[in-house]
Structure 1
Amino acid sequence: MLKGLIDYLDSVHRRDPAPRSRWEILLYPGVWALGFHRAAHWLFEAKLYFLARLVNHFGRFLTAIDIHPGARIGKHFFIDHGFTVIGETAEIGDNVTIYQCVTLGGTNPTNGKGGKRHPTIGDNVIIGSGAQVIGPITVGTRARIGANAVVTDDVAEGATMIGMKARSTLVPAEEWIKEFIPYGTPCDEPCEDQVAEGAKRIESLEADLELLKAQIEQLKSAPAPETARRSGTDS
């Protein structure tokens, strides 16, 4: 058990350079929230639902992180900072990293039954701050969800999702195989291509606009057809 805890703390340190020691990591709200969830989930599996909820609410009070006791979470799960909500039927793989203010939320079932309402998150996924991942969708292995993205459809393995509603950007293979890239929102990787393409488009539209303005000015300065005919008659 001690070795498992040390391995977990070391996995957090590999993803967060801020702490100077394992003792600091032990103070992280995400670490405490996961500990409370492990206990609450054990009670939930034993059908001790009230006690599971009691532990859940106590953990939420202390950490500002709300993880439903029914959620299934794999190894080395790390919530950086907090203010996160994870729903009952969410399933989270190994080595998943979530930043602050993320929701793994559910959709309203149309058949009146609970069922699978929350996302399934694959291994090594990174979810950026403020992202909302909604519904019984699957986020593939090594996918990245950018900050403030709203994801309501399945995400392919290795994809980076940005925007509202989130769209995928292509990720080169050499980026896909990296062990960990912080925050899930690349600034000098796939998003740059989108920005550069948008800038080119804006430049093209501005050039077209200048051309149209020049043509309008030429039309304004040209004599009217009736005036030209009168000038020819007078001569």
Structure 2
Amino acid sequence: MTGPKGRRPLHRRAAETLDVVLARDPSVRTRGEALLHPTVIALACHRAGHRLHRRCHYRSARLVSTVAKVLTGGIEIHPGARIGRRFFVDHGSGVVIGETAVIGDDVSLFHQVTLGSTGWWHDGPGERDRTARRHPRLGNGVTVGAGATLLGPITVGDNALIGAMSLVTSDVPDKSRVRAVPASIPSPGTTSPAHEPPTGPAGKKTHR
């Protein structure tokens, strides 16, 4: 049974969120423990804030969003963002989701993920319609690794995987794998560029 306009009853949505936390976070063992997970708190506040935002109660919606950020240790979701079912944030610290972001079902984000715009100098009223999408759209089943940054009105296709620390500014096809450049390990007896002694005048190496 669903509520008005096909909405699922509140208690069923809450139970679904708890089940998602139990399924995707092996450190959580019971529903009682899952109640304290940042995902549950962030989603509960976002649903309330999003409802206020749709009714043009922007100040109240912002207040709810700010409270959620404090309670979750840094999950900042703009009340205008649209989020699908079975959304999950692992750890949560430093996650930012912009106003016009659209997130499909079964999406997972890790900590320090940003779904942002390309900057106010591009997105100001003089440059683009305020109703236009400025933030990423994530399809169903997308996973975004820790520290990844997705900018602009790009689209990430269904079941794509965005690797940790990736910077994504263009569309990503379905089922794609996006990876940042991995760290390199120097061979024994060599020095990596990051650990070379600093150079002085005329390129001479200096030692402290």
Band the TM-score falls in, shorter-chain normalisation? 0.7 to 0.9
Q: Does 1:97 align with 2:72?
A: no
Query: May I ask how many residue pairs the two structures share in their alignment?
Result: 170
CA distance in 1, matches of 2:178, 2:128: 31
Q: Does 1:109 align with 2:126?
A: no
What amino acid is the match of 2:167?
A: V
TM-aligned CA deviation for residue 59 of structure 1? 1.1
Q: Does 1:71 align with 2:88?
A: no
CA distance in 2, matches of 1:65, 1:102: 10
Aligned residue number for residue 198 of structure 2: none
Bigger radius of gyration: 1
Query: Structure 2: which 5+ runs fail to align?
Result: 1-9, 185-208
CA distance in 2, matches of 1:46, 1:142: 32
Aligned residue number for residue 173 of structure 1: none
What amino acid is the match of 2:20?
A: S
What amino acid is the match of 1:99?
A: F
Q: Does 1:7 align with 2:3?
A: no
8 Å contact 2:21–2:39 — kept in the other structure? Answer: no
Q: Any idea what the Cα deviations from partners look like across 1:159-184, whole Å, max 9, x if unmatched?
A: 010116xxxxxxxxxxxxxxxxxxxx
- Partner of residue 62 from structure 1, selected from 45, 54, 71: 71
TM-aligned CA deviation for residue 16 of structure 1? 1.7
Identity %: 47
SS at match of 1:81: coil
8 Å contact 1:138–1:154 — kept in the other structure? Answer: yes
CA distance in 2, matches of 1:143, 1:9: 24
What CA RMSD, in Å, does the superposition of the two structures yield over aligned residues? 2.2
Q: Any idea what the Cα deviations from partners look like across 1:73-124, whole Å, max 9, x if unmatched?
A: 0001111111200000000000100000000001222725332110000001
What amino acid is the match of 1:19?
A: V
Query: Structure 1: which 5+ runs fail to align?
Result: 165-190, 199-235
Q: Does 1:128 align with 2:142?
A: no
CA distance in 1, matches of 2:12, 2:42: 20
What TM-score, normalized by structure 1, do the two folds share? 0.68
